[in-house]
């Protein structure tokens, strides 16, 4: 790689999941140049060792800033500490400081759903300013982006914190509408479900939580992400029909769209986030 090309790769995005971690280097324009996926070790010290080894494999390691997405709900944004996570056995770890030590670069951490939401909001910023992002996979996550800025007060707890009536009980929305719940009830993953009746039933469950979030956030558009969101074409119509049943004059139903970059939304969001957080990073090296 030439010296000129080397200068193009300036940022690192790290998407830490419960089972896999994706790292990606992005140039100044936000184009992914390299990416590596590896297992997320539940032992935090072992994870840091693995992360260092994988970053060392990247051709260009001269980063100007690093963004890190982690599954919620517990982030101390002031200190960059991950207090707890629904998918990781890590508690009170100094994630920001540790990755700064590892990369010798400024680091910012944020909830992964919020970063994915920011990424998707930036893609459609010329059409919508108030964007609600909902990711349906093993669990349910959501985030709100207003005028290309993450609302940190919305969504850290995800679908487990929204209590709804289901089969005569008040239960977390996630417990009956997530990808995990779909597999448990129907014995199939979203990609394998094709019959309209099943998708109508799934849409009824999804709509209950959607209506709650629409009332709270009043979005112009809802972007569907996650593994279930990837098959949005299969249930876009029945979901829209279910939402029409809840229509009231004071609440305008938002547009419904599929995420543009579902697999890499978090690392793209890392790029957008650190460009906002560290606007002068590229001139400091």
Q: Does domain 3-110 have CATH number 3.90.25.10?
A: no
Please answer whether residues 141 and 159 qualify as being in contact, where contact means their C-beta atoms are separated by less than 8 angstroms. yes
Measured CA distances, 61 to 52, 129, 266, 272 (Å): 11, 34, 20, 19
User: Collapsing DSSP states into helix, strand and coil, what is residue 12?
Assistant: strand
CA end-to-end span of the chain: 19
User: Collapsing DSSP states into helix, strand and coil, what is residue 186?
Assistant: helix
Q: List pLDDT tens digits, range 188-238.
A: 999 999 999 999 999 999 999 999 999 999 999 999 998 888 899 999 999
- Residue 111 structure tokens: 């909830």
State the pLDDT confidence band at 8, using cuts at 50, 70 and 90. Answer: low
Note the pTM of the prediction, 2 decimals. 0.89
Give the angle subtended at the CA of 36 by the CAs of 30 and 39, to the nearest 5°.
130
Closest by CA position to 139, among listed 107, 173, 114, 164? 173
User: Collapsing DSSP states into helix, strand and coil, what is residue 153?
Assistant: coil
CA distance 83 to 79: 10
Rounding to the nearest 10 degrees, give the CA dihedral for residues 258, 144, 131, 208.
60
Residue ranges, CATH 3.30.420.40, the chain: 3-110, 125-258
Q: Is pLDDT of 2 > 60?
A: no
Question: Which pLDDT value is given to residue 138?
Answer: 83
Please answer whether residues 182 and 227 qualify as being in contact, where contact means their C-beta atoms are separated by less than 8 angstroms. no
Class of the CATH-defined domain 125-258: alpha beta
E strand spans, 78-217: 81-85, 107-111, 130-136, 140-146, 149-150, 163-166, 169-172
Question: Which pLDDT value is given to residue 27?
Answer: 93
Q: List pLDDT tens digits, range 262-278.
A: 889 999 999 999 999 99
Please answer whether residues 144 and 131 qualify as being in contact, where contact means their C-beta atoms are separated by less than 8 angstroms. yes
């Amino acid at each position: 790689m030439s010296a000129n090309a080397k200068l193009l790769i300036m940022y690192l995005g790290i998407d830490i999941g419960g089972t896999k971690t994706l790292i990606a280097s992005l140039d100044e324009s936000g184009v992914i140049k390299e990416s590596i996926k590896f297992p997320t070790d539940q032992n935090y010290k072992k994870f840091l060792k693995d992360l260092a080894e994988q970053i060392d494999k990247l051709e260009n390691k001269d980063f100007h800033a690093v963004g890190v997405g982690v599954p919620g709900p517990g982030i101390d944004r002031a200190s960059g500490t991950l207090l707890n996570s629904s998918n990781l056995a890590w508690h009170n770890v100094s994630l920001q400081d540790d990755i700064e030590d590892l990369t010798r670069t400024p680091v910012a951490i944020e909830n992964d759903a919020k970063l994915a939401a920011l990424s998707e909001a930036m893609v459609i910023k010329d059409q919508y300013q108030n964007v609600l992002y909902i990711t349906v996979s093993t669990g349910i996550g959501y985030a709100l982006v207003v005028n290309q800025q993450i609302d940190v007060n919305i969504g850290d707890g995800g679908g487990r914190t929204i209590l709804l009536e289901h089969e005569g009980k008040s239960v977390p929305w996630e417990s009956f509408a997530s990808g995990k719940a779909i597999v448990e009830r129907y014995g199939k993953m979203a990609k394998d479900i094709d019959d309209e009746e099943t998708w109508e039933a799934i849409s009824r469950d999804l709509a209950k939580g959607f209506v709650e979030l629409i009332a709270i956030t009043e979005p112009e558009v809802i972007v569907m992400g996650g593994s279930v969101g990837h098959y949005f074409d299969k249930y876009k119509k029945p979901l829209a029909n279910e939402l029409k049943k809840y229509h009231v004059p004071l609440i305008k139903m938002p547009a419904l769209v599929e995420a543009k970059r579902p697999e890499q939304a978090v690392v793209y969001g890392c790029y957008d986030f650190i460009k906002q957080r560290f606007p002068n990073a590229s001139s400091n090296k």
